[in-house]
Amino acid sequence: MSQEFNITVLPGDGIGPEVIREAVKILRIVEAKKNLKLHLTEAPAGGAAYDATGHPLPEATLNTAKEADAVLLGAVGGPKWETLDFALRPERALLGLRSNLGLFANLRPAKIFAPLVEASTLKPDVVEGLDIMVVRELTGGIYFGEPRGVETLADGSRRGINTLVYTDSEIERIAKVAFDVARKRGKNVCSVDKANVLECTGLWREVVTQTHEDYQDITLSHMYVDNCAMQLVRNPKQFDVIVTTNMFGDILSDQASMLTGSIGMLPSASLGGKNAMYEPIHGSAPDIAGKDIANPLAAILSVGMMFKYSLNLEDISVVLEKVVDEVLKQGYRTGDILSKGMKEVGCIAMGDRVAEELEKRLS
Ligand SMILES: NC(=O)c1ccc[n+]([C@@H]2O[C@H](COP(=O)([O-])OP(=O)(O)OC[C@H]3O[C@@H](n4cnc5c(N)ncnc54)[C@H](O)[C@@H]3O)[C@@H](O)[C@H]2O)c1
């Protein structure tokens, strides 16, 4: 009997629909080759949803996401919606999905593909073989803390407020995810905080250290976020798993992504709830949207993570990484990872190349 899965597909804005179309090609190939039944339900999210319904995360979209086994998201946002009230901005859809689905753990691998070593801005010997997993807390911290907002004071001046909040249970559960992930990798966790300045992250350090008592096979170290930003550029291969807060993780994982050549290469998985959400880490890239030049590999590799964490087909995620490596070895490149002597292809053609290689490997 074939395995059945419900997948909610949220293409979103900008290049979101372009890269998701290529990722869906991959889902369909695996469905056919592995005799699965994938029920794909597409729904609007972000700016597209605001235009259609007046809200970036309509009730109907949230409900289909809640019922799905997995959610695949492109990207949301763009200049068209930048003047909207914060509560209606496309990015609120992301926060709404993460918090409503209980997705507190964001896994962001930064792994370099050998053919792209030259595409990194760092020297080849610094990045060759790089394989870091950033585990970012996703539903707490300063992005959600109250009070927040901008207020006008009695003298007419204005004051902006955001609040960094973490409870010990929120810290403990993300630390456990990081230690569990490390157990299947290099058994090394670096917890990143700013415990010398922020009391909240002092608690973070304390709770991560306590949680580590149950994971004595894992080596734990602590690092301040400013040092981590520096070490990621100086000697990134010292890291295996980095666990950190929502905002620090947002910034550090983007930095780690550039070590691998392009933000267009990096997938992510958000776990912790009944189901999980998968998305490339890049945004909607309005500067290149609609031109068929976006790199679809981050979205395609996100589907790889979906097979691993939600669809019980870890072998497919391994095969997909091999296929991407092979296509890069053959010299195919989208503009963001293009180097001298390589063959430039668009988003659709890159998706087709991966699809063809995958079909060959799965036959
Ligand atoms: N998860 C998300 O949906 C998400 C994440 C980040 C930003 N955003 C939103 O996206 C919009 C643009 O944000 P930004 O410019 O800061 O970040 P971005 O990631 O969209 O783009 C940053 C740069 O990287 C390039 N880039 C991104 N993805 C690429 C790809 N797949 N292939 C080739 N090049 C790629 C872009 O062209 C741009 O030059 C904003 O509205 C922002 O709020 C959404």
301 lines ligand 1 (CB under 6 A): no
Q: How far is the CA of 284 from the centre of ligand 1 (A)?
A: 5
pLDDT (tens digit, 9 = 90+) per residue, 9-29?
Answer: 999 999 999 999 999 999 999
The pLDDT score that the predictor gives to residue 258 is 82
Give the residue-averaged pLDDT of 146-167. Answer: 98
Whole-angstrom Cα distance, residue 81 to residue 52? 13
The closest-lying atom of ligand 1 relative to the alpha carbon of residue 76 is 3
Q: Considering the domain 1-104+272-363 in this protein, what is its CATH number?
A: 3.40.718.10
pLDDT classification of 39: cutoffs 50, 70, 90? very high
pLDDT classification of 1: cutoffs 50, 70, 90? low
78 lines ligand 1 (CB under 6 A): yes
Whole-angstrom Cα distance, residue 97 to residue 117? 35
Give the residue-averaged pLDDT of 121-126. Answer: 91
Write down the domain spans for the chain: 1-104+272-363, 112-263
* Inter-residue contact 345 to 19 (CB < 8 Å): no
Q: Give first-to-last CA distance, the chain, whole Å.
A: 20
Mean pLDDT of the chain: 95
Give the residue-averaged pLDDT of 168-173. Answer: 98
CA distances from 98 to 51, 78, 79, 112 (A): 21, 20, 23, 27
pLDDT (tens digit, 9 = 90+) per residue, 301-319?
Answer: 999 999 999 998 989 999 9
Catalytic residue among 13, 166, 193, 194: 194
pLDDT (tens digit, 9 = 90+) per residue, 184-241?
Answer: 899 999 999 999 999 999 999 999 999 999 999 999 999 999 999 999 999 999 999 9
The closest-lying atom of ligand 1 relative to the alpha carbon of residue 287 is 37
| Per-state percent for the chain, helix, strand, coil, to nearest 5 | 45, 20, 35
Q: Which residue has the higher pLDDT, 328 or 258?
A: 328
3-state secondary structure of 189: strand
Asked whether this chain's domains 1-104+272-363 and 112-263 adopt the same fold, the reply is: yes
The closest-lying atom of ligand 1 relative to the alpha carbon of residue 282 is 19
* Beta strand 149-152 pairing with 219-224: unpaired
pLDDT (tens digit, 9 = 90+) per residue, 225-267?
Answer: 999 999 999 999 999 999 999 999 999 998 888 888 788 999 9
Give the residue-averaged pLDDT of 140-169. Answer: 97
Name the CATH architecture for the domain at 112-263.
Answer: 3-Layer(aba) Sandwich (3.40)
